[in-house]
Structure 1
Amino acid sequence: MERLNYQHLYYFWTVAKEGGISRACETLHLAQPTVSAQLAVFEQAVGEKLLRKNGRRLELTDMGRVVFRYADEIFSLGRELTNTLKGRAGGRAPRLLVGIADALPKLIAYRLLEPVLNLPEPVQMVCHEDKAERLLAEISLHGMDLVLSDTPATPSGGSRVFTHLLGECGVAVFGVAALAQRYAPHFPRSLNGAPFLLPTPNTALRRSLDQWFDSAGLCPNVLAEIEDSALVKTFGAAGVGLFVAPTAVEEEIRQRYGAEIVGRVEGVRERFYAVTVQRKLKHPAVEAILEQARAGLALLDGME
């Protein structure tokens, strides 16, 4: 692809934003065959499929997500230029594109991103949640400034991808008061047959928990496997079952979800990483996050 056709990019961006060609045609005031043909030309120029059908809707492919985020940035700059030329106020805060692994606890993600909120110059954060492997693939293609994950990047991510350990903490089993009263005595032996909500097997925490269960000879009653950490806590707050969460945010879990510690899981640690690419290291917000870790102030240290 020697030269980017911005008109075709705009058609693609509109279709992706509207979720389908028909709605995009209404926005663009163009006929459906025209938009479909231009999309096909653009995908041919890119050399990859950017959209695929999912029922009646179109959804982005992995490459489509990368192109869409660049397009979003490009047309955001275009709107800013238009406003400036029209004499409107408008200093534009720099953007920080953050990918957050869906297995990463949301309370932890907030803690890790908190330094950005304290910068002297404002930064506009744009946060996207997805599976860690997809986010790490996107950052290697420069679709992200930073990925927060519970797993480090693998060597396949490319030599220009860097993993930074931001902090670590222990984990504990939580449950609403009735469950805590029932299963806290004789912990961890009491977990045999206990109703449990576990993260899915593709997460680092689940793999560590499975090893702990095996080594301790425990066999809980797994009622559900849930990838999203916030959804696990929501189910747990309803009293469905016990769940595991980082001890660094145990006070927030008590306050927000009404859950109590049943017991601490000895020997299991959760680690939290920032993944960057070489050309993005100069971003002031990324530097603020990494600097806090380098200074020994990682938000999770010493909080147990």
Structure 2
Amino acid sequence: MLNYKQLYYFWNVAKAGSITRAAERLHLTPQTISGQLAELERALTTDLFRRVGRRLELTSAGKLALTHADEIFQIGYELEQSLLSGAAGGELPFRVGVADAVPKTLAYQLLAPAMALSESVRLICYEDKLERLFAELAIHQLDLVISDRPLPSELGVKGYNHALGQCAIAFYAVPELAVRYRADFPRSLRGAPFLLPGDKAAVQAPLMRWFSEHQIQPRILGKFDDSALMKAFGKAGVGIFPAPIILSDEIRDQYGAEVVGCVDEVMLSYYAISVERRLTHPAVVAVSEAAQKALFVKVDTVR
């Protein structure tokens, strides 16, 4: 009979890409996982991995095993969620990963509906780089990832992109800068001091195209992976910064920054990424429905 613990170790190694990374996630020694993998391969009478230099690659048998392992552990995850949802009086855990490019205020607005459910929900929230969050999602350590971009197909992670919606961006600045650059917008922005998201942010490329189309050469004083840090520099009057237009009230209250101008041509998209094709977790459903009804321009769900 198949040893499902050994299959789980194999699945983690395949998702992580190495025994060492899988061992770190599972809080085990690499020797333990290596030994369990060897026993699984002996039981199945076939090699599941081949070593290429310092990397492990799946054999054809390993690829077949991974396909079935994905289905097995997906069914197990759905069973767990069904039982947790039906447990009378119990707390429903809701494990969410938030990409560091998603503004904190927006993340709160997206997740708040889950906390208002009649069921008792215990939110467990993580912020990290998208690649690490996707890896945790792949092994069912997260129920949901909130991201400003869809799940890249090249990662090999089986997941589904549930579009929450879109919104335009605006440029913000402290009142003195806002008054100076608001007149004759957007031509007034030529040579203006800017604070921009980092190069990996989804908005970076369309924003630079917009500058080019309007023949604007911004004076870029800084780039930031952390949107809150970018806004903190903006609050100090260092430069103009972009953010979702739907956060204008919060940005005014928290950072003392006013809208310089709205950029309707540059839209930000947000996604709820899950391992479920059809959303079933009550908290995930609440997040998706509330976002599309109240926060954003509704867009179609995409694979």
Q: Is TM (by shorter chain) over 0.5?
A: yes
Question: Relative to structure 1, is the Cα distance of residues 164 and 46 closer, same or farther in structure 2, using a 3 angstrom cutoff?
Answer: farther
Equivalent residues of 1:197, 1:236 under 8 A apart = yes
Tell me: CA distance 1:187–1:279, structure 2 relative to 1, closer, same or farther (3 Å): closer
Does structure 2 retain, via aligned residues, the 8 Å contact 1:97–1:144?
yes
Correspondent of 1:41 among 7, 31, 42: 31
Instruction: Could you tell me which runs of 5 or more consecutive residues in structure 1 were left unpaired when the two chains were aligned.
Output: 6-15, 18-34, 49-90
Post-superposition Cα deviations, 1:231-258, rounded to whole Å, max 9, x if no partner, equal: 1111111111110000011011101110
Match of 1:60 in 2: none
In the aligned structure 1, how far is the partner of 2:170 from the partner of 2:264?
8
Structure 2 CA distance for partners of 1:189 and 1:288, relative to 1, 3 Å: same
* Partner in structure 2 of residue 218 of structure 1: 216
Counterparts in 2 of 1:26-65, with a 5 A limit? 39-45=29-35
| Alignment partner of 1:291 out of 264, 278, 289 | 289
Q: Which amino acid aligns with 2:29?
A: L
Q: Which residue of 1 aligns with 2:14?
A: none
* TM-score normalised by structure 2 residue count: 0.69
- In structure 1, distance between residues paired with 2:199 and 2:153: 21
CA distance in 2, matches of 1:46, 1:187: 64
Distance in 2, Cα, partners of 1:301 & 1:279: 22
C-alpha distance in 2 between matches for 1:251 and 1:137: 35
Q: How does 1:1-304 map to 2 (within 5 A)?
A: 2=3, 39-45=29-35, 92-158=90-156, 160-278=158-276, 281-293=279-291, 296-301=292-297
1:5-28 per-residue CA deviation (whole Å, 9 max, x = no partner) reads 9xxxxxxxxxx89xxxxxxxxxxx
Task: Report the Cα offset of residue 281 of structure 1.
Answer: 3.5
Superimposed CA distance per residue, residues 150-201 of structure 1 (whole angstroms, 9 cap, x where no aligned partner): 0011223558411111121111100001111221112111212211110011
Q: In 2 relative to 1, CA 194–160 (structure 1 residues): closer, same or farther, beyond 3 Å?
A: same
Aligned pair in 2 of structure 1 residues 46, 276: CA closer, same or farther (>3 Å)? farther
| Percent identical residues | 44
Match of 2:82 in 1: none
The verdict on how the C-alpha distance between 1:213 and 1:279 changes in structure 2, with shifts beyond 3 A counting, is closer
Q: How many residues align?
A: 232
Counterpart CA distance in 1 for 2:222 and 2:35 is 44
Structure 2 alignment gaps of length 5 or more: 7-23, 38-48, 50-88, 299-303
The answer to whether the 8 A contact 1:145-1:280 is kept is no
Gap change, CA 1:179 and 1:117, over 3 Å in 2: same
TM-score by length of 1: 0.68
Once the two structures are TM-superposed, the CA of residue 290 in structure 1 deviates from its matched residue by 2.4
Q: In the aligned structure 2, how far is the partner of 1:136 from the partner of 1:268?
A: 26
Conserved? CA contact 1:140–1:158, under 8 Å: no
